Structure 1
Amino acid sequence: MNCRLCEVHCLVSHSKSKDIIKAFRTERGKVVPRITVETSGPVSFAVQCRHCEDAYCLEACMTGAIALDPETGRITHDADRCVGCWMCIMVCPNGALRTNPAHHVVAGCDLCIETGTPACVEACPNEALYIEGDDE
């Protein structure tokens, strides 16, 4: 449907204020959504990290800023270790990783670890986004 609510809620979820107005007015540019909606004519689809089993980004990261959590299978990003070389962005077959220019680090989907359910999934009015393996 291309409503882009997933992008909005992702941006707010990763903002400091967690407030939609403040996130867009004062924090925009400092925080980027970890999901983007691509559109081509009537077709649109969301692009976000797929947390690949054999993640190329994991292999390409020279500092260990990208790691695999063995318990959850999630790909994690440690902004403190990221040097902004963008190798992970170049090797990602899904085009899912983005730069966060304000902090010169990579921004990738973290599946909203702090809340448990990704904001994009919760906000999608058509249930077009889901977590694979969910019972729903």
Structure 2
Amino acid sequence: MKRIFVQYKKCLACKACETACAVEHHPAGSLAAALGDRKTQVNVRVLGIEHESFPLSCRHCDPADCLDACPSGAISRDAESGAILLDAAMCKACAMCAMVCPFDAISFKATHRSCYDRDVAYKCDLCNERVKAGRKPACVEACHSGALVYADYDANRLKQASKSLRAYLLGEEGLPPQLELFRELRRKEFARRRGGE
């Protein structure tokens, strides 16, 4: 089954993934409608840690702790895509799923999918309908730097492990010069801001 992989060293913190996710999950399907709408659902968050950035979303674990913890049966796994899905109509907002999620990928608020205008859990659904139609998830399609990759889980993990070991042992396969320059500038800007505080 395919999953979204993050190559955080390529992330430029442009937040194109967040924007694409908001548009994809908004009923109007347009950026103009999603902007300023308090119910807009954004399932991926770009976190800034020191001078690094990391797009965070549901990892669709197997086994999934959130699936086992949900007492109302609102969380299920799609047999075809393997995505962990959350039914907002069944969610009781008990937060059991958020408590057991090791990635802090589940949030709560009133979204367009929630009933009775109340807070419910929401998370990445792997753009399940897009994936079933043969397309990539919206965040992956919007990522310009290649930080988000939609690939087969087992094959990509093996490839990444062997590539990282080879790079570690032999020093091969560095980042493109433009990304190295960007990262260096970001490190310097972060150091400058920290020194000024």
Determine whether 1:120 maps to 2:139: yes
Compute the displacement of 1:31 (Å).
2.1
Equivalent position to 1:15, from 20, 26, 34: 26
Could you say which residue in structure 1 is the equivalent of 2:93? 84
Determine whether 1:107 maps to 2:122: yes
Equivalent position to 2:71, from 62, 77, 80: 62
Contact 1:31 1:100 in 2 (8 A): no
Could you say which residue in structure 1 is the equivalent of 2:106? 97
Compute the displacement of 1:94 (Å).
0.5
Runs of 4+ in 1 over 4 A off after TM superposition: none
Contact 2:57 2:105 in 1 (8 A): yes
Compute the displacement of 1:90 (Å).
1.1
CA distance, structure 2, for counterparts of residue 13 and residue 100 of structure 1 = 18
CA distance, structure 2, for counterparts of residue 73 and residue 6 of structure 1 = 21
Query: Which residue identity is paired with 2:90?
Result: R
Contact 2:83 2:128 in 1 (8 A): no
Unaligned runs of 5+ in 1: none
Distance change in 2, residues 1:119/1:76 (3 Å): same
Determine whether 1:6 maps to 2:25: no
Bigger Cα displacement from structure 2, 95-104 vs 58-67: 95-104
Q: Give the total of aligned pairs.
A: 134
Q: TM-score, normalised by structure 2?
A: 0.64
Q: TM-score, normalised by structure 1?
A: 0.91
CA distance, structure 2, for counterparts of residue 99 and residue 132 of structure 1 = 29
Compute the displacement of 1:130 (Å).
1.4
> Which has the larger helix fraction?
2
Compute the displacement of 1:132 (Å).
3.4
CA distance, structure 2, for counterparts of residue 39 and residue 88 of structure 1 = 24
The Cα offsets for residues 14-43 of structure 1, whole Å up to 9 and x where unpaired, read as: 001111011113xx2212200001102220
Query: Which residue identity is paired with 1:122?
Result: E
Unaligned runs of 5+ in 2: 1-11, 157-197
Contact 1:12 1:20 in 2 (8 A): yes
Query: Which residue identity is paired with 2:26?
Result: S
Identity of aligned residues (%): 40
Q: CA RMSD in A?
A: 1.8
Bigger Cα displacement from structure 2, 63-72 vs 88-97: 63-72
